[in-house]
Structure 1
Amino acid sequence: MKMRRLLLPLAALPLIGATPRVGADIEVTVTNMRSEDGQVFACLAPAKDSFPDCKGGGGMDLKIPADEAGHFAFHGVAPGRYAIAILHDENGNGKIDKALMIPKEGFGFSRDAPVRMGPPPFAKAAFDVGSEDVVQPIKMRYIL
């Protein structure tokens, strides 16, 4: 009986200090990068108000060196519906450069959402996140 009393607290040791995981991770893989110059801005938007630039609030944004942008992640994402937009700021000036309203730098969206005149609607790029991790492949597009 004494041995059992000693072993019971030892069995609980792996649980001490363990923190429960909060939220899922969204792993993003980016293909078709034209160069490793500059940086990539990524926005994980929870609603159309913050898509595609995360300025409407509630989104998560990342700035990643372009040479490391082939694979990155958003961590601890609460369950919900989200869309991702990415921008390859090749010259590193912090904005998308345009010529006659046409982007000169690369961009991409979750679910490979189609682009017409401007970014796709949130609904076309949106995907669901639950308690499991999600992988979102994004193909970078360049017009000029």
Structure 2
Amino acid sequence: MALTAAANPSPRAAELTVELENVRNAKGEIRICMTRDVEQFLKCREDPQAVKVRVAATEGESEIRVPGLSEGRWMLLVLHDENGNGKMSKSLGIPKEGFGFSGNPAIRMGPPRAEDVVFDLPAGQSSQRVRVKYIL
């Protein structure tokens, strides 16, 4: 039994500070969703295991703490939900609201892949800087 526990140590507690930059205004709220599920990462809000945080939007730069995490591999999505409808608003399929991802991947035709945004969260305190992007 001791060998099994040593081979599979339980995850330790972690806390993430998300350092946001480039939020264009203070309308609506900032929604942060963190998931470990590669298959669900773009549908993070539908993942029952995801960690979700909502705060009032602040123009420019801000910091948002996400407590209650465990160390391991995570994917982070940020939405500046300016109209407060709880989802990304689009016009002809193009995002009308700001968004960002861990790792700040280049955005080309379509969203990034999970492997472009996954990061290892160590136990204890950590941070991720996310630049919010606006297309329209």
What TM bracket, shorter-length normalisation? 0.7 to 0.9
- Which runs of no fewer than 5 residues in structure 2 stay unpaired? 1-11
Contact 1:84–1:109 (CA<8 Å) still a contact in 2?
yes
The structure in which a higher percent of residues are strand is 2
How does 1:19-34 map onto structure 2 within 5 Å?
23-34=13-24
Q: CA deviation at 1:115?
A: 1.9
How does 1:1-144 map onto structure 2 within 5 Å?
23-54=13-44, 55-67=46-58, 70-144=62-136
Which moved further from structure 2: 93-102 or 31-40?
Answer: 93-102
The alignment's TM-score, normalised by the length of structure 1, stands at: 0.78
Task: Give 3-state SS (helix, strand or coil) of 1:86's partner.
Answer: strand
Distance (whole Å) between structure 2 residues aligned to residue 61 and residue 39 of structure 1: 13
Task: Give 3-state SS (helix, strand or coil) of 2:58's partner.
Answer: helix
Q: Which amino acid aligns with 2:90?
A: K
Post-superposition Cα deviations, 1:18-54, rounded to whole Å, max 9, x if no partner, equal xxxx611111010001101101111111121231342
Describe the shift of the 1:81–1:73 C-alpha distance in structure 2 as closer, same or farther (beyond 3 A).
same
Q: CA deviation at 1:62?
A: 1.1
Q: Name the Cα RMSD after superposition.
A: 1.7
Q: CA deviation at 1:91?
A: 1.6
Larger Rg over CA atoms? 1
Distance (whole Å) between structure 2 residues aligned to residue 50 and residue 35 of structure 1: 29
Which moved further from structure 2: 85-94 or 51-60?
Answer: 51-60
- Which runs of no fewer than 5 residues in structure 1 stay unpaired? 1-21
Contact 1:29–1:136 (CA<8 Å) still a contact in 2?
yes
Distance (whole Å) between structure 2 residues aligned to residue 70 and residue 27 of structure 1: 10
Contact 1:104–1:143 (CA<8 Å) still a contact in 2?
yes
Highest relative contact order (Cα 8 Å, sep 6+), 1 or 2?
2
Post-superposition Cα deviations, 1:105-132, rounded to whole Å, max 9, x if no partner, equal 1000011022223321111111101213
Number of residue-to-residue matches in the alignment: 123
- Structure 1 runs (4+) greater than 4 angstroms displaced: none
Distance (whole Å) between structure 2 residues aligned to residue 85 and residue 53 of structure 1: 10
Percent identity between the aligned chains? 36
